[in-house]
Amino acid sequence: MTAIHRLSQDVADAIAAGEVIERPASVVKELVENALDADARRITVDVRGAGRTSIRVSDDGHGIAADELQLAFTRHATSKVASLADLQAISSLGFRGEALASIAAVADVECASGGARIHLRAGELVDEGAGPLLPGVVIEVRDLFANVPARLKFLKSDATEVAAIRDVVSSLALLHPHVRFQLTVDGRTSVATTGDGDRRRASAALHGAAVATEMLEIVGMPLVTGLVSQPRVSRGSRDWIVLAVNRRPIASRSLLYALEECYQGRLERGRHPVAVIDIGIDPELVDVNVHPAKREVRFREESTVFAAVQRAVRAALGGSEPFFYRAPAYAPAGDHVLTTVAAVREPSVAFALEEIVPAPAAIATKLRPLGQVGPGYIVAEGPDGLVLVDQHAAHERILFNRLLARLHEGRGMSQQLLIPAAVDVEPALMAAAIDNRAELSALGLELEEFGPRSLRVTAVPAEMPASRATKAVQESLAALAESRSDGAIEKAAAALACHSAVRFGDLLEMAEQRRLLDDLEAAEDSVTCPHGRPTRLVVEWQDLVRHFRRNY
Ligand code: ADP
Ligand code: MG
C-alpha cells in the first residue's frame, strides 16, 4: 500500500471538479469503491433511515495506517495517483482524493482503522485517538446533510433513496463477484453475495435464480465479458442493465444503444434485457477523469469498443433457447403447495447452476408436423417435446431473414405486378421512398413516382401476394419515415415480411407445414419473429412426465 499524500496543485487542478455527494447512494458508492481499491474481499454496508440516519461500511482490505487517518480526510489527499502522468492511466476506482473530505463536510463521521480512530463533524475534527485493532476500515456516516438543509430537501422518498443504494451495491457486486457483499437496510438483508467469484451466482443473488439461469455468458470475446439475458427473459425497464469499464459502472448512451440494438427483433417494443457487461481495456485507452462522480468515461476508440460489445452480445445471443412451457408442479410427498415456475426449475441455486447446459442445438433435429390447431398453430413433435408454432410469426422470421440476406447482397428477388398498383402516400412517405430507392429495390420493392402524392408499385418481393402490395408499401415506407436510425430499413423489411407471410388462420397443407418447420429450424434467431414475439412454445417431455406423475 502506498502512502497517502496531498496532491500537488497542478494535479489537483487537472481533476474533474464538482460535487460528488448528492445523496446517500453517493456516500455508499464512494465508500464501497474505497474498500474495493483496498482489495477487500468482504464489504458490509449497513444503512439506517434510508441513509440519512446512518451508513456504516466495513471492509477487510489493507486499511489506513494510524498516522494517515487524519490526512485521509483532507481534500486532495490520496494514495492512488501522484503525478499528471498517473491520470492518463487510472486503474483504481478512486483518484480524486475528495470523497472522504466531502463526506466529512456534510455529516458526522467516525472512522476506525489500523488501531486508530477519528471523529469529524461538519468538516471539523471532534476527536481522535486509539481505536480497535481491526482488519480494514470501519466507517460510519451519521446525520447526512444535517448541516446542509438545502441538500436534504432534494432527497427523494425513502424507498427511492434505498433503491438507489441497492443499485450501487448490486452493480458493484455483479462486477466484483470475488468480493462478498452484504447490504442490510434497517437490519434487513437486501443484498448478500457469496464472493466465490462466480458471476452467475452473483446474478442469482441479485436477480433471482430464475433469471440467473437464463443469462447467457459472454465467453472468449475480445475486451468484453459478462452476462446477457436471452430473449425469453426481459424487463419493462433498463434498471437491470449494468455497463462497466474495468469493473467501474458507467453511464453510456452509446454502449447502451450498442447493447439494445442487438436485441432488435428479439424483444418486443418497450422490453429491455438484463445485462452485465464489463469492458476490460488498457487504462490508457479510456479517460475516466471527465466527470466528478466518475460516472462517464471517454474512450480513445469508441467505435472499436462499440463494435466489440455488439460482437460479444450477438455471439452470446446465438445460444438463445426457445420459449418453454413450464407446467406448475406439485411437490412430491403429498405436499399441496403449488410451487412457482422458478421453484420447479431450481430446487436450489447450486443445483440449478450445475444444470445449465447452453442448448443452441436443442431443436436441431427435425420437427415433425402433426397438423394445425386453433386459428393458426402448427403442432409438431420435436426431440425435446411437443412444439406449438405460431405459423405467422415463424413464417415472418423466415422471410425477414431472407429479405435481409438479399438486402446485404444488394440483389432483390421480386415479381412484376401484372397491373401496377397505385398507392396514395403522404409527402413524408414519398420522401422515404425516394431516399431509400436502392435499399427498397434490394428488398424486392420497385416503386415509381406517379404524381406528387402517389406511387406506382411495379414489383413486390417474390413471396408477397400481389393483393397485399398496397398495405405493405405504406407500412414499410412509414417505418422508414418514422425511424431515421440505423434500424429503419430492418423495420421496413419486417413490414414486408409481415405482409408476405402466411396469415394466422390460413389453412396449410401438410407439405407446407413441413416446409415451414424445416425453414424455421434452419433460420437464425428463430426464437422470435422480427417484432420480438415468440415463434414457438416447447412443452418439454420432462414437463409432461412431471405433469402426468410418471416420475415416481
Ligand atoms: P480517493 O479514493 O480518490 O483516493 P478518498 O477521499 O476516497 O480519495 O480516500 C482517500 C484515501 O484514503 C485513499 O486514497 C486511500 O488511501 C484511503 N482510504 C479510504 N478508504 C479506505 C479503505 N476503505 N481502505 C483503505 N484505504 C482507504
Ligand atoms: Mg475514494
With a cut of 70, say whether residue 345 has pLDDT above it. Answer: no
Find out whether the beta carbon of 29 lies less than 6 Å from any atom of ligand 1: no
The identity of residue 431, as a single letter, is A
Percent of the chain at pLDDT above 70? 92
Q: Residue 164 corresponds to which cell in the numbers above?
A: 438507489
Which range of 257-261, 332-336, 346-350 scores highest in mean pLDDT? It is 257-261
Q: Residue 202 corresponds to which cell in the numbers above?
A: 452473483
List the beta bridge partners of residue 447.
Answer: 457
CA–centroid distance, 82 to ligand 1, in Å, is 14
C-alpha to C-alpha distance for 63 and 440, rounded to whole angstroms: 64
With a cut of 70, say whether residue 332 has pLDDT above it. Answer: no
**Confidence grade of residue 547 (pLDDT, cut at 50, 70, 90):** confident
CA–centroid distance, 210 to ligand 2, in Å, is 35
pLDDT at res. 180: 98
With a cut of 70, say whether residue 504 has pLDDT above it. Answer: yes
Find out whether the beta carbon of 137 lies less than 6 Å from any atom of ligand 1: yes
281-316 pLDDT, tens digit each: 999 999 999 988 888 999 999 999 999 999 999 999
CA–centroid distance, 429 to ligand 1, in Å, is 59
Q: How many CB atoms lie within 10 A of CB 403?
A: 28
pLDDT at res. 1: 62
With a cut of 70, say whether residue 340 has pLDDT above it. Answer: no
pLDDT at res. 369: 96
Taking 3-state DSSP, the helix, strand and coil percentages for the chain, each rounded to the nearest 5, stand at: 35, 25, 40
If you write DSSP's letter for every residue of 115-126 in order, what string do you get?
TEEEEEETTEEE
Percent of the chain at pLDDT above 90? 83
Find out whether the beta carbon of 80 lies less than 6 Å from any atom of ligand 1: yes
With a cut of 50, say whether residue 534 has pLDDT above it. Answer: yes
C-alpha to C-alpha distance for 190 and 195, rounded to whole angstroms: 16
Q: Residue 467 corresponds to which cell in the numbers above?
A: 393483393
Q: What does the mean pLDDT of the chain come to?
A: 90
CB 128 within 8 A of CB 71: no
**Confidence grade of residue 200 (pLDDT, cut at 50, 70, 90):** very high
pLDDT at res. 17: 79
The residue to mutate among 30, 33, 60, 79, having the most atoms of ligand 1 within 8 angstroms of its beta carbon, is 79
CA–centroid distance, 292 to ligand 2, in Å, is 12
CB 308 within 8 A of CB 315: no
Residues whose CB is less than 8 angstroms from the CB of residue 215 and which lie 6 or more positions away in sequence, other chains included: 200, 203, 207, 227, 228, 229, 230, 233, 274
